[in-house]
A and B are shown apart, each in its own frame.
Chain A
Amino acid sequence: MNKRQANLLLIVVVLIIALVQPIWRMAEGFDVVTLGLDLKGGVSVVLQAVPPMGQAVTPEDMTGLVEVIRNRVDPQGQKEVVITVVGKDRVLVQVPGEKDPNAVLQLIGKTALLEFVNAGKEPLEEGTETADLNLPVVVTGRDLADAYPTRDGMGRPAVGFEFKADAADTFGKFTKNHVGEYLAIALDGVVISCPVIKGAIWGGRGIIEGGGFDIKSATLLARQIKGGALPIPVQELESRVVGPSLGQESIDASVVAGIGGFIVILLFVILLYRLPGVVANLALALYVVLLIGYLSLFNVTLTLPGIAGAILSIGMAIDANIIIFERLKEELAWGKTLAAAIEAAFARAWIAILDGNLTTLIAAVILFFFGTGPVKGFAITLSLGILISMFSAVFVTRFILEFVTMRFKKLGLYT
């Protein structure tokens, strides 16, 4: 295998790798490139944990927070809700496809609802939803004066609680009248424990056992009940909602812009450089395919700024070719043979191209570290574009150009 064949193989392999993922995704009916919420439509909220004075936020607090939010926003785990901890004390909640932003916000912000429900003669299984059963609620978490992690009679972790005075009375009367029946304890509408009432409970104290508590979850629930809210108070830092039609409009508009600009560049380059221009255009078309392919392969989430970056990068990718061809013109004018001129032009231009691309890459990397959300998406798209363009505009162009000039020896390049 000579060097030319090896190069061809490399180009084909790079192309095939780029095509696998998009084709698979299309076959499976997914979007070719993962779309961000600003394009797909949906709700994204950033919450900031605000610990009480003198307390620090621990990683456990944050995982607890994520758990609770997940239970509230997506109890069945059906939506593609993404909840991630950002930095030390922030949570990003993304609910794609959600049309009613305010519902999500109210869902996240609502207080943890602990209910003691009269389950009647039959016990309710853990995980049952109480909302549709219309069972009478005896007391709620708001009636609790205190809640704390403790252990049950067998030494397993449990949550102890203490009622406020009037609730203690209600609870005492209820248990007195319903001995032998079941009491369901439900958190946010889901049964976590359903003990049998063994006798009247006076004095307003008790424990919640069962629910598969370990020390961590018992502590968490105790805090939730006491705080009446999330395990740690949060503040809504920002929330962004994009309706489904706006996202689609943005995609359509930017695709039109991308194709329009792409065609103008193709014409511009052919006009300026003739045959090498055609070669550069081939490489540019390959660039677009590779960019989409690798965005898909690396599962980069494409945001609106990201699309803008991708479109802009088409105009930047052709730069390397312009630099090379201008140099080639000069080398030819200086009397070199075509093969020598191509050799010299690529060697000389490569340094400048590398310099230029590295500086843009530096800017993109800095942007990635200091940017937030969509800005990061832009930085990734831009970086990927730069790397791919160095391959397509330099390596591939050179390959095709050398191939063409070898085949058609008498071809005048700029005629």
Chain B
Amino acid sequence: MLQNLNRYKLIPFVQFSKLWLLISALAIIAGAFIMVGNYRTMGSPLFLGIDFTGGSFIQLKLGEPGNAADIAEIAQKYSVGEAMVQLRRENPREVEIRVRIDTSEADDEAARSELRAQKITQMEQEIGDKFGGAENMEVLQQDYVGPVVGAELIRNAIIALIIGTIAIMVYIFIRFNRFVFAVAAVVALVHDVIIALSGTALLKLEVNSFFIAVVLTIIGYSINDTIIIYDRVRENLRNFPQINFPTIINLSLTQTLTRSLATVATVIVMLVALLLFGGPGLYGFSMAMLFGMISGAYSSIFIAAPIVLYFTRDERRHRLPAYVDLVAAHEQVATGEFDEDEAEVYEEKKEETVLAPEEKKPPEKSMKGEPETGAKDKAKRSGTKEKAKKKKKKLRRR
């Protein structure tokens, strides 16, 4: 089994886990700042669509290019509160209007509906007349959402999110039988949702009822990479009982790296295609999803795995620090080819090949675990003979 590991050049993921966590923490803090900023300017951390706020959303295609200020002036006459008008950048004939139609004259619900419909028609006519004639105007879209719906949506979204997260946590726990795995996976998921929200806040993407679909899909999908990695960790734990846990993590991440990246790449390809060609209707969907998917790939590798490591009570957890080059030595022990002379040569060779690139690493390398690793490494090498023999015995007992 062990000789299978020859071909892997372990990537020191675990050694830099604090850096990875720091990057995530910074991204989340930045997201929080963006949301606070949005709250100050827009009154809510995200740009909420009428699904949440209530009101009317009207999209018109005018006879000739419109003028936002003039249209807003017309819309304002029919509106309670401020009317928001936006021209489509690619086509100034298309205009989006967000208003809350004033229906205070009506005295019951039915009359209110009727009055709203009348006033909207009237408003559309007036705007159409001003820009190229009402007969050349086309109503592309006209939505109204009452005040009740938003609260309900938020409630349903939160319930769905909680149930989804718990369901996935339970699933992981059942499949992998380790609570740490489940918790780490959920932390990674929460991370992804926060990043997706931050991206949405940053680009001021409109959040509508469909956003919950985006979030749940991110959750359901980005867990896949995590599962692939967990699956490999479990397999490696079983196959290589002599390798310490941090190295197992490094090994598993290295082995699964290509597929983690490739699977996310294909989804990103589709999302980018949707962004480029999918039209304005799917822009917010694709963009938010893109943030979530990229974050999902990152968190599976750089968040879930280190958390598993930190919280594992596995006996192998603290026995040895993580090595990049341990595998070769282990291999020789396991295959019985271990010979002290040869081992020394091997160790020296390893020292050249593996330690050399490490020296090039930037100063982050001087994190806590590192010098320790080096020290133990040296200690081990100085007493090669005894240690190797001990190890040999230990391995045979297993």
Contacts and interface: CB of A to CB of B under 8 A. Distances in A.
Q: Please report whether the interface of chain A is mostly helix, strand, loop or mixed according to DSSP.
A: helix
Nearest to A317: B266
Interface stretch (A129-137, A318-326, A401-409): A318-326
Contact of A312 (B108, B110, B120, B217): B217
B160 interface: yes
B346 interface: no
| Most chain B Cβ neighbours within 10 Å, of A99, A307, A318, A370 | A370
A312 B140 contact: no
B366 interface: no
Contact of A243 (B140, B279, B282): B140
Contacts of B277: 253-254, 256-257, 260
Interface string B277-305: 11101100110010000000000000000
Nearest to B143: A240
Interface stretch (B26-34, B223-231, B378-386): B223-231
A311 B219 contact: no
Contacts of B148: 48, 235, 237
A234 B228 CA distance: 51
Interface stretch (B167-175, B196-204, B388-396): B167-175
B213 interface: yes
B267 interface: yes
A315 B209 contact: no
Contact of B269 (A110, A264, A322): A264
Given A258-B273, A352-B231, A242 B141 contact: yes
Contacts of A362: 164, 167-168, 171, 220
A308 B145 contact: no
B25 interface: no
Contacts of B146: 48, 235-238
A353 B87 CA distance: 45
A315 B212 contact: no
Contacts of A340: none
Contact of B285 (A256, A308, A359, A364): A308
A246 B110 contact: no
Contacts of A229: 110
A101 B60 CA distance: 13
Interface stretch (A53-61, A78-86, A159-167, A374-382): A374-382
B109 A358 contact: no
Contacts of A357: 224
Contacts of B111: 109
A378 B216 CA distance: 11
A268 B139 contact: no
B255 interface: yes
A308 B224 CA distance: 20
Residue among A108, A269, A352 with the most chain B CB within 10 A?
A352
Contacts of B44: none
Interface string B172-185: 10010000000000
Contacts of B159: 370
B302 to A, nearest CB: 19
A249 interface: yes
A265 to B, nearest CB: 5
Interface string A246-271: 10011001101110110011001100
25 contacts: A48-B148, A106-B117, A236-B113, A240-B141, A241-B141, A243-B141, A250-B279, A254-B282, A256-B277, A257-B274, A257-B276, A260-B273, A261-B272, A265-B269, A311-B274, A316-B267, A318-B263, A323-B263, A355-B171, A356-B224, A356-B227, A360-B224, A363-B221, A366-B163, A375-B213
Interface of A: 48, 50, 99, 101-102, 105-106, 108-111, 229-230, 233-243, 245-246, 249-250, 253-254, 256-258, 260-261, 264-265, 268-269, 272, 304-305, 307-309, 311-312, 314-316, 318-319, 322-323, 326, 330, 333-334, 348, 351-352, 355-364, 366-367, 369-375, 378-379, 382
Q: Closest 7 interchain pairs by CB?
A: A363-B220, A261-B273, A253-B279, A356-B224, A315-B270, A370-B160, A360-B220
